[in-house]
Amino acid sequence: MQRVRWCAAPVLAAAWLTLACALSGHALACDFEPVKKEIDNVLDHDKQKAERFRREVKDGYDSMKVLNDLLPPQWRDKLDQCRFFAAEYLAKRGFPPAH
Amino acid sequence: MQGKLVSTAHGPTKGDNTMKRLLAASACAALMLAPLGAAHAQSVEQLVDDHKTNGDVLVYGMGYWAQRYSPLNQINKTNVRRLVPKWTYSMNDQRGAEAFPVVHNGVIYTTAHNATVALDAMTGKPIWRVAHEYPPETLRSVCCGIVNRGVALFEGKVIRQLLDNQVIALDAKTGKQLWKTASPAPATAANGYAMTGTPLIASGVAVVGIAGAEYSHRGFIEGYDVNTGRHMWRHWNVPATGEKGIESWGKPEAAGVGGGSSWVTGSYDPELDLVFWGTGNPSPWNARGRPGDNLWTNSIVALRPRTGERVWFYQATPNDPFDYDGVHQPVLATLNVQGKPTKVVMQANRNGFFYVLEAASGKLLAANAFGKVNWADGVDLQTGKPRFTSVYHDAIAGKEVAAVWPSVSGVTNWQHMSFSPKAGTAFINTLHLGMGYHATNPETYTPGKPSGPGSVKRKEVLDNPNIRGYLKAIDPLTGKSKWEVPYKSPNYSSVLSTGGDLVFTGVMTGEFEARDAATGKLLWSFQTPSGIVGQPVTWERNGKQYVTVMSGIGGVYALRAGDPNLANVPAGATIWTFGLFE
């Protein structure tokens, strides 16, 4: 029994390591659909945020930066991971982060 | 990331006759191509003579001097109306088709961001296609389009860069991977690096650049052994603490994330053994946190290809607050300067000035505006520095500026000019866009943090909404236009000029055009299915001249400008070859 535990320990450690690596990799990858929904929430469903977004973008602020400030904090990393696609989507919605 | 050899475009399907037919066809193609095998070697001599050999297009820019000029004149002003498509091939990609097709011995090699293909130059039939995969997080630090600008050829190898900062060599005959090398630390997407450019093979070294100055990176140019892929050297475009040049960073700590990318391929002079490369904007765009000239951003650097040693540099835009990303490919020529034939390096800079420098020394010979510029009223030829106006000083001071010309997109962007030695003229697609500008309080940056558009406030300024760009024929020594043609949207296609007195270029709405080099008059146009941001080339085979270009809208302007004229242009990358109707 003891020997089995000794064998299981490295297996469990490896499994945890694999899971951690997978999660870490996943954390860096963009899952755009939910991010798009959050962008739509700001632009279409939250009147105050939508007004602020349009006002600041019209005033010359970068649309990605304004969006970042308006999204709930837990979404900011996700927006960053999806930076390319979010910028592309904002351009299609008429708010290009002009470059 | 593993390069993956896949079937040709019409891949075999399980258990049907198509598969057998394709296998038979492949075998026939292999047999037909077998005698060409020995001719797949592209020697140093062939690369040096590329501009003289009309059958091949071996070097990015149609020769080491990057003139994008061919003496071919079979297609000319009198018959260009008979130009028709000979074949087209789909790249199976919805991203920008910016690649420069190279042509060797009846085979065209070109790229998408995620594939490299070899095509029969006469028919467009695929010989091989290699798919390239990269980790999804790679795209986080790709600021300006998911693109690749093409391959280099050397001794039977097809060498290209991959978005995830790797350089790869494929066998030109088969597409089989020969070597692949990751750019050493810190060149990762997390640190703000990406590769979109094309290697330049000089003295047996694959010289490559890097993108990412919008992500707080520290830019470089580097060299790889073309035979083995061994990383040989790296030229940092921004100095480290304690190094020469750091005195130009008033806050040395800012240099560590100081930008200076190199995302457009350079040029080479074999006689001087110098590679000329444009370096990009400093990071962040907002200059208030990085006082000083910020060497060696926005410069042309002349490097030894075997070692990366910097022989000279010239900085066009010191302490740049406007993203005047000076990466435009330097073009070499022999010009008559004050009565003396002089080997020069020319650069149509994004900042709006057309520079002419002595190639051997970097001495500034001429610098003149070739578009609407108001941040400087000229360049002092003695000091080489711009004569800044209040527009620049106010921007640096953090004041709101109502109109800066040009905008961050520049008077030109990455699209390459052509220089015709026959006409003594540079042909270049320019932009006509200004901006309102305000550098707000500077932030601090760490590697990988976005440091571009978000670091300043800007508004679009147009003086004519129906003219956002021109194709211009420019005298290099004066910057003055011999002719110019306005466009509703700027052309991001490169330009090709020929001995047939023609200028070819593409339009963002899909037209591929030929114009009279002497007058700019439109002589021929063909509507391709998408917008053109590609690079036309011309070549001959069996005594006939052809013109090849890629179509496929994408890249920074299409993605980020919000230009209403482009809203309905369909995506889709294709490559086209045209010849005279028979």
Q: What is the pLDDT of residue B7?
A: 34
Whether B562 and B539 have beta carbons less than 8 Å apart is answered as no
Q: Which two tokens stand for residue B120?
A: 């029969």
Residue B548: strand, helix, or coil = strand
Of all residues in chain B, the percent with pLDDT exceeding 70 is 93
B323 is a catalytic site residue: yes
Q: What is the pLDDT of residues B351-402, one digit of tens each?
A: 999 999 999 999 999 999 999 999 999 999 999 999 999 999 999 999 999 9
- For A31, half-sphere exposure in the C-beta direction (CA atoms, 13 angstrom radius) is 8
Q: What is the pLDDT of residue A13?
A: 52
Rounded alpha-carbon distances, angstroms, from residue B471 to B149, B369, B468: 21, 15, 11
Confidence of residue A9 (pLDDT cuts 50, 70, 90): low
Comparison of pLDDT for A8 and B25, the residue scoring more: A8
Asked if pLDDT for residue B27 goes beyond 70, the answer is: no
Strands B69-70 and B496-498: parallel
Query: B220-223 — which CB contacts under 8 Å span 24+ positions?
Result: B220/B187, B220/B260, B220/B262, B221/B262, B221/B266, B221/B277, B221/B279, B221/B301, B221/B303, B221/B308, B222/B183, B222/B308, B223/B305, B223/B306, B223/B307, B223/B308
Interface of B with A (CB under 8 A): 135-137, 139-144, 146, 190, 214, 323, 408-409, 436, 438, 450, 452-454, 457-460, 556, 559-562
pTM: 0.91
Q: Mean pLDDT check: name the lowest of A26-40, A57-71, B5-19, B42-56.
A: B5-19
Whether B503 and B464 have beta carbons less than 8 Å apart is answered as no
Rounded alpha-carbon distances, angstroms, from residue B342 to B125, B293, B336, B481, B565: 44, 29, 6, 22, 43
Q: What is the pLDDT of residue A49?
A: 98
Residue B406: strand, helix, or coil = coil
Q: How many CB atoms lie within 10 A of CB B466?
A: 10
Q: What is the pLDDT of residue A98?
A: 82
Q: What is the pLDDT of residues B452-492, one digit of tens each?
A: 999 999 999 999 999 999 999 999 999 999 999 999 999 99
Asked if pLDDT for residue B235 goes beyond 60, the answer is: yes
> Across residues B15-23, what is the average pLDDT?
38
Which residues in chain B are contacts of A84 at CB distance < 8 A? 139-140, 142, 146
Q: How many CB pairs under 8 A join A and B?
A: 80
Q: What is the pLDDT of residue A16?
A: 54
Q: Do B137 and A62 touch (CB under 8 A)?
A: no
Q: What is the pLDDT of residue B181?
A: 98
Q: What is the pLDDT of residue B10?
A: 31
Please give the backbone phi and psi of residue B199, each rounded to the nearest 5 degrees, phi first.
Answer: -65, 150
Q: What is the pLDDT of residue A29?
A: 84
Which residues in chain B are contacts of A83 at CB distance < 8 A? 139-141, 450
User: How far, in Å, CA of A67 to CA of B548, rounded?
Assistant: 42
Which residues in chain A are contacts of B450 at CB distance < 8 A? 64, 80, 83
Q: What is the pLDDT of residues B73-123, one digit of tens each?
A: 999 999 999 999 999 999 999 999 999 999 999 999 999 999 999 999 999
Please give the backbone phi and psi of residue B454, each rounded to the nearest 5 degrees, phi first.
Answer: -70, -10
Q: Do A30 and B436 touch (CB under 8 A)?
A: no
Q: What is the pLDDT of residue B138?
A: 95
Comparison of pLDDT for A22 and B62, the residue scoring more: B62
Q: What is the pLDDT of residues B281-320, one digit of tens each?
A: 999 999 999 999 999 999 999 999 999 999 999 999 999 9
Q: What is the pLDDT of residue B465?
A: 95
For chain A, give the mean pLDDT.
82
> Across residues B38-64, what is the average pLDDT?
88
Of B569, B366, B387, B577, the residue nearest B474 (C-alpha) = B366
**Residues in CB range of B209: below 8 A, 6 or more apart:** B195, B197, B221, B261, B262, B263, B264, B265, B266, B277, B327
Of B572, B582, B518, the residue nearest B546 (C-alpha) = B582
Of A31, A22, A23, A25, the residue nearest A78 (C-alpha) = A31
User: How far, in Å, CA of B559 to CA of B554, rounded?
Assistant: 6
> Across residues B48-66, what is the average pLDDT?
96
Comparison of pLDDT for A12 and B183, the residue scoring more: B183
Nearest CA in chain A to B567: A92
Q: Do A87 and B560 touch (CB under 8 A)?
A: yes
Q: What is the pLDDT of residue B129?
A: 98
Q: What is the pLDDT of residue B36?
A: 43
Asked if pLDDT for residue B1 goes beyond 50, the answer is: no
- For B523, half-sphere exposure in the C-beta direction (CA atoms, 13 angstrom radius) is 22
Q: Which of B93, B164, B269, B323 is catalytic?
A: B323
Residue B482: strand, helix, or coil = strand
Q: What is the pLDDT of residues B490-526, one digit of tens each?
A: 999 999 999 999 999 999 999 999 999 999 999 999 9
Confidence of residue A97 (pLDDT cuts 50, 70, 90): confident
Of B396, B409, B348, B435, the residue nearest B558 (C-alpha) = B409
Q: What is the pLDDT of residue A1?
A: 40
Sign of CA dihedral B76, B54, B227, B230: negative
The complex's ipTM? 0.85
Nearest CA in chain B to A61: B457
Asked if pLDDT for residue A92 goes beyond 50, the answer is: yes
Whether B181 and B166 have beta carbons less than 8 Å apart is answered as yes
Asked if pLDDT for residue B56 goes beyond 50, the answer is: yes
Q: Mean pLDDT check: name the lowest of B101-105, B135-139, B527-531.
A: B135-139
Q: What is the pLDDT of residue B38?
A: 41
CA angle B305, B429, B472 (to 5 degrees): 115
